[in-house]
Amino acid sequence: MSEVERGVFANLGVSAVNRKRTIVLFCVLALVAAAVVGGFLAASRIKSPADVAARTAPPTPSPILVPVEERVLSSNIVTRGTARFGLPQSISIAPSALKAKAGLITTLPLRNTQLREGGVMLTASGRPVFVLQGKIPAYRDLVPGISGNDVRQLEQGLERLGFDPGPIDGTYDERTSAAVAQWYNSAGFEPFGPTPDQLARIRALEREWGDAEKNKVAAAAAAAAAPRAVDATRAKAEHANAAAAAEIEAMIAERALVVLDPRQPETARAAAEAKLELARAAAIASQLAGKVEIQAAVDAQKAAVREAKLAADRADRLTADLDIAKGKLGVQVPADEIVFIPALPVRVEEVTALVGQEARGPVMSVTDNRLVIDSALRLDAAPLVKPGMQVAIDEQALGIKATGVVARVADTPGTHGVDGYHIYFEVRVDKTPTRLEGFSLRLTIPIESTKGVVTAVPLSALSLAADGTSRVQVERDGALEYVVVEPGLSADGFVEVTPVEGALAAGQLVVVGYENPKNRALP
């Protein structure tokens, strides 16, 4: 083996020895480190009783603070309802006495059509059915010469439409007739003039009036002649009485001659006496007959006067009837050509008539354009809601917001389609561009309000002291103190408070509760 080789092997032997020493040293150091760490861990797990008590104690709670607010408080009733247009009202057409029969419907409006004053609702046999505003429904033909509130409604409507009916006095006169004619012509229809029946009646009245005038003249002449007949009868009776008296005087003279003549037999005296008695009886009979004839003449005079008055009255009555009939020959409004509706405009809700049917009776229903909401209240809440109260209307899911007022509240539960545990009420919606009909909406009715901004805190901030007073806990300069308050209206989770002792202002922090920090995990 050469020197070089021996040198190499010698170096290799030294390196192996050093490697063994290094490994042993590393193992010793590792054991020492493990012992140190184990000792530290063992020491860290050893706790004193004080440490254990401190670790198991509950954490210190932290107060939850919220600011005092100034706000308007109101107590509300919240319910829901469905929007619709005003209650439907049925529209009926009255029959007309001016026409022999009703016309056949030729045109009808569509649903949702707006009916405005003076407009044509439908047509029947080519004739219009106009709409005017008025509370009294059409129940008779409006013709010249009649008076009444329905005529006044017609005059008022004509005036609103710009047709001058003259004085608004409820009397259908020539000026009213002229205004009606203008109205019909402006709408493109022929005004309704005299009917054949009216003209025939005029002619019949004229004939009756002529006969009555003749009878009146004859009766007046008879009444004028009756006093002369009475006078003639009296004169005749007086003449007969005078003749009877003269006859009696002659019989008395004849009897006297017989009685004074001694040569006359007894029979002559008896005959003279008998003649005297007969003359006296004839005088009495003549007087009675005269009285009877006079009474008859007087009665005939009274009858003639009475007949003359009756004839004159009949003639006067026929004169008046003829004048009235002639006065009705102007332009008229048949009952089946006009419909009065209390408020206009209205919208057509439902058409029940059909083209070709007779234009009489119910033909459609209409509603006003005011939106209303049908809703119901619990029995305990209903007494708190009164007509005229403001209502907030909304539906968050649809982005709807509107306002309204309570229009009416039913008197008894179970009416207008609600059950026996609720009371119906109606809300009239204020004007809104949003289409609400058919939607279910939330209704909020403020029942009580503070009538202005008040100091308010959350209900949870209010507590009761041992002496019965109410108080809130306020933070001042990092410390908490109690302030005695007088509570007022509570609503929406807040309560109105008025400080009794101390001060309380908006922005101050009050305690509404306490929260605990999260529990630490125990080893």
Query: Which tens digit of pLDDT belongs to each residue from 461-481?
Result: 999 998 989 999 999 888 999
Domain 370-449: CATH class, spelled out: mainly beta
Find tokens 């709408």 and name the residue.
187
For the stretch 339-364, pLDDT in tens is 999 999 999 999 999 999 999 999 99
Percentage of the residues of the chain whose pLDDT score is greater than 70: 87
pTM, rounded to two decimals: 0.52
Average pLDDT over residues 373-396: 93
Band of the pLDDT at 312, cuts 50, 70, 90?
very high
User: Is the pLDDT assigned to residue 50 strictly greater than 60?
Assistant: no
* Residue 227 · residue 269 · CB < 8 Å: no
Whether the predicted pLDDT of 331 surpasses 60: yes
Average pLDDT of 160-168?
97
Lay out the sheet containing 120-124: strands in order across: 105-107, 120-124, 127-133, 338-341
Predicted confidence band at 38 (pLDDT cuts at 50, 70, 90)?
low
pLDDT band at residue 329 using 50, 70 and 90 as cut-offs? confident
Interval 71-78 mean pLDDT? 86
- Identify the band that residue 367 occupies on the pLDDT scale cut at 50, 70 and 90: very high
Closest by alpha carbon to 346, among 373, 359, 365, 361?
A: 365
Q: What does R_g of the chain's alpha carbons equal in angstroms? A: 60
Q: What is the DSSP letter of 171?
A: B
The domain locations on the chain are: 3-46, 63-72+452-515, 89-193+330-366, 197-327, 370-449
φ, ψ (nearest 5 deg) of residue 90: -75, 140
Q: What is the mean pLDDT of residues 122-140?
A: 97
- 66 contacts 495 by C-beta, under 8 angstroms: no
Q: Which residues contact 234 (CB under 8 A, 6 or more apart)?
A: 290, 294, 297
405-415 average pLDDT score: 94
For residue 489, which of 479, 498, 476, 501 has the smallest C-alpha distance? 498
- Residues recorded for the chain: 523
> Helix or strand or coil: residue 207?
helix
Conformation bin of residue 170: beta by default, left when phi > 0, alpha when psi is -120 to 50: left
Looking at domain 197-327, its CATH superfamily turns out to be Helix Hairpins (1.10.287.620)
CA separation, residue 445 to residues 317, 392, 422, 489 (Å)? 67, 7, 16, 16
Q: Please tell me whether the peptide bond between 345 and the residue prior to it is cis, using omega within 30 degrees of 0.
A: yes
Place of tokens 């005297």: 276
Rounded distance, CA 451 to CA 437, Å?
Answer: 33
Query: Which of 279-288, 320-329, 354-363 has the least mean pLDDT?
Result: 320-329
Q: Averaged over 22-42, what is the pLDDT?
A: 46
CATH of domain 63-72+452-515: 2.40.420.20
pLDDT confidence bin for 385, thresholds 50/70/90: very high
Average pLDDT over residues 165-180: 95
